[in-house]
């Protein structure tokens, strides 16, 4: 397929190219050829890299807005939270139906890849794989075993039981990696065991003041210092990370995934991506639990851009935020996604430059970050195939 006369945000710096041709071959972007087969005139359209939603929990799609009050732990704690109770009582087929709806919702909003922290052990992983077989969106599954240690077990530094090690083998065989709940539910011995897993490793860290204080109380270390024992490829949240934590994360991980609207909806503060980047961290964006937040990257970008400028009282280049929703997600995952360039998977959002909320476009990066929405999307492409809309 050859897209002609199309505007593009090209490469890892999202350079605006007003008009060009793009060849798509074998699901990836290639150098333009002179062939006339499958030639599509895209005059008036803008191609943006597909959004990489770098942190989700779509398993709680069945429980939207059921817990709008109470603490974070009362809602989403892996052992004590309402989410755990709701999911344990939900028929798998019912849950799968709502997860599928969420996948379609994300795709319509330009999300071409999402990274899911999948609860429920092997059964949970197999359920989301079944859902993904029915929808064209790309899902990266980070599974886990349902094993959470208490304070006594953490202080005694108890290892992961043999039966759980065997369960983890099956989970990892069927997923893309491991999504660890957090340092406060795992001893250092368990975290070090997780560090030996060969696939993607990720872990929640420093999401709340309470969780950060708990880590100090139990171990005398910061949550992030303990999380790094798992040698994660990336950390999630880091809303209350210290500067030494951020410097350590920059040296020892690929980056941080922040979830600003989810943190705000839980009344837990705003992640400071400006400080994260100043300390050398690559930052990507996720929408987190569907239970508490809609999976909409347009809203996520608009929110974090304006909030950060309000906090820091200075301008921030909107391109910086757009990279967090596209390019940086690919970097953190170590995959050739999130960028329009040869050899990268042909994932993209084709926007109508004449959409009522966008025209006239003077700054394409700003237009996408704080004015674009699902309504401006003409089509969504995943692996070179139009999966939503049409050209």
Reference 168, options 188, 192, 144, 189; nearest CA is 144
Q: Would you state the pLDDT for residue 79? A: 60
230-275: pLDDT as tens digits: 999 999 999 999 999 999 999 999 999 999 999 999 999 999 999 9
Q: Which fold has domain 2-49+338-389?
A: Urease, subunit C; domain 1 (2.30.40)
Q: Give the whole-angstrom CA distance, residue 73 versus residue 248.
A: 27
Q: Quick check: 85 pLDDT over 90?
A: no
Given a contact cutoff of 8 angstroms between Cβ atoms, the answer to whether 190 and 145 are in contact is: no
| Domain spans, the chain | 2-49+338-389, 51-333
Q: Would you state the pLDDT for residue 80? A: 56
- If you average pLDDT over residues 277-288, what whole number do you get? 98
Q: Quick check: 35 pLDDT over 90?
A: no
Of all residues in the chain, what percent carry a pLDDT higher than 70? 93
Count of residues in the chain: 391
Span of 4-18, 88-102, 115-129, 345-359 with lowest mean pLDDT: 88-102
Given a contact cutoff of 8 angstroms between Cβ atoms, the answer to whether 164 and 187 are in contact is: no
150-177: pLDDT as tens digits: 999 999 999 999 999 999 999 999 999 9
Given a contact cutoff of 8 angstroms between Cβ atoms, the answer to whether 148 and 90 are in contact is: no
330-388: pLDDT as tens digits: 999 999 999 999 999 999 999 999 999 999 999 999 999 999 999 999 999 999 999 99
pLDDT band at residue 122 using 50, 70 and 90 as cut-offs: very high
Peptide bond before residue 360 is cis, with ω within 30 degrees of 0: yes
Given a contact cutoff of 8 angstroms between Cβ atoms, the answer to whether 357 and 108 are in contact is: no
Task: Give me 357's structure tokens.
Answer: 């909320």
* Burial (CB count <10 Å: 0-12, 13-18, 19+), residue 72: middle
CATH number attached to the domain at 51-333: 3.20.20.140
Given a contact cutoff of 8 angstroms between Cβ atoms, the answer to whether 52 and 345 are in contact is: no
Question: Which residue stretches of the chain are H helix?
Answer: 72-76, 82-88, 92-108, 121-132, 151-155, 162-173, 188-194, 209-219, 223-227, 243-252, 260-265, 273-278, 297-312, 318-325, 327-333, 364-370
Reference 129, options 174, 181, 62, 63; nearest CA is 174
pLDDT band at residue 38 using 50, 70 and 90 as cut-offs: confident
Tell me which long-range contacts 124-133 makes (C-beta under 8 A, separation of at least 24). 124/59, 125/171, 125/174, 125/175, 126/174, 127/92, 127/95, 127/96, 127/99, 128/58, 128/59, 128/99, 129/174, 130/96, 131/96, 131/99, 131/100, 131/103, 132/103
Q: Would you state the pLDDT for residue 64? A: 78
Task: Give me 307's structure tokens.
Answer: 């909030």
pTM of the model: 0.94
């Amino acid at each position: 397929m050859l897209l002609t006369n199309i505007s593009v945000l090209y490469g890892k710096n999202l350079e605006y190219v007003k008009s060009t041709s793009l060849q798509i071959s074998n699901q990836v972007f290639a150098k333009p050829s002179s062939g006339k087969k499958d030639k599509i005139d895209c005059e008036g359209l803008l191609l943006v890299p597909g959004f990489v939603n770098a942190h989700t929990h779509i398993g709680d799609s069945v429980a939207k807005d059921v817990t709008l009050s109470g603490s974070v732990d009362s809602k989403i704690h892996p052992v004590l939270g309402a989410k755990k109770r709701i999911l344990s009582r939900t028929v798998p087929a019912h849950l799968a139906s709502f997860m599928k709806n969420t996948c379609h919702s994300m795709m319509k909003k330009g999300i071409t890849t999402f990274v899911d922290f999948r609860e429920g052990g092997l059964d949970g992983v197999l359920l989301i794989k079944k859902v993904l077989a029915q929808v064209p969106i790309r899902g990266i599954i980070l599974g886990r075993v349902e094993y959470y240690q208490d304070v006594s077990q953490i202080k005694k530094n108890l290892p992961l039981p043999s039966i759980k090690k065997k369960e983890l083998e099956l989970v990892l065989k069927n997923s893309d990696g491991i999504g660890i709940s957090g340092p406060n539910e795992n001893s250092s011995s368990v975290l070090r065991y997780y560090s030996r897993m060969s696939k993607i490793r990720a872990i929640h860290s420093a999401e709340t003041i309470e969780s950060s204080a708990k880590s100090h109380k139990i171990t005398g270390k910061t949550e992030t210092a303990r999380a790094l024992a798992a040698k994660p490829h990336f950390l999630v949240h880091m809303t209350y990370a210290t500067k030494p934590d951020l410097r350590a994360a920059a040296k020892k991980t690929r980056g941080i995934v922040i979830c600003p609207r989810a943190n705000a909806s839980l009344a837990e503060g705003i992640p400071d991506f400006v400080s994260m980047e100043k300390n050398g961290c690559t930052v990507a964006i996720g929408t987190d639990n569907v239970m508490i937040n809609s999976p909409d990257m347009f809203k996520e970008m608009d929110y974090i851009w304006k909030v950060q400028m309000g906090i820091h009282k200075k301008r921030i280049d909107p391109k910086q935020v757009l990279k967090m929703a596209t390019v940086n997600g690919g970097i953190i995952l170590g995959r050739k996604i999130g960028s329009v360039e040869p050899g990268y998977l042909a994932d993209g959002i084709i926007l109508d430059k004449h959409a009522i909320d966008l025209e006239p476009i003077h700054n394409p990066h700003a237009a996408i970050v704080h004015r674009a929405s699902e309504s401006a999307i003409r089509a969504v492409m995943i692996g070179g195939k139009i999966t939503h809309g049409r050209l």
